[in-house]
Structure 1
Amino acid sequence: MDSFLANVGLLAIAFVIIYGYKKIQDYYYFKHLSFYENEKVYKAAADEFVHGASSDDVKTILASCSDFDEEDAEEILSRALPRRTDKDGGYRAFIRSVNKVLGEDVYSEQCHTH
């Protein structure tokens, strides 16, 4: 009987380790997936900004992203709007503003082509 309980205990421990490992894998997978989905949102917002979309439209796109709330979107636009008349349509200023609000240089300012 003791060996049966020891085997059940070992099986339970193995199950907990496998379950924990799976949860950690899921966390990092979804975190990575979320990053790329948000990157698409930022690029779409930047393109809309460059092509003259209204500030409200761009703010709505940014607010739909999980990294930003309404205040963050307003801050990004307030930083980028004065540079909208630049040669690149304000794209670099927009991406620079997104990076500033995120607190790190996540997105490259050089990746945009017209």
Structure 2
Amino acid sequence: MQTLRIALVFCVAAGASSALFARDLSKNERDLCTWGAGVAATAQQYKLAGLTLYGARNKMQARHFPQQWMRMSALGITEQTYDSASRMRPEGVKQVYYEGCTRHELARR
């Protein structure tokens, strides 16, 4: 029971710290992380559905991106997702990517 309580406290603290990180970022930085997390989740969804990397790249190429740099970034994120052996659900990938991105943006400062 004590172990469960400690684990619960750790999870709450981790969630609070990631929310704290997000507050320190600018809106543009948060939007960038949210966009990348969405791309990673989509790529993971394609991967779990059995779509090949070639097929996923074609689907990403067919999407409309408001900025020119987004297409190449989306393809890079897709390739990294496919290179991973993870079978995590897309929602989990989205959360992990967002948290890593926010940590990276904060460390860059």
Q: Which range, TM-score by smaller chain? A: 0.3 to 0.5
Q: Which is richer in helix? A: 2
Q: Which has the higher contact order (CA 8 A, sep 6+)?
A: 2
**TM-score, length-scaled by structure 1:** 0.36
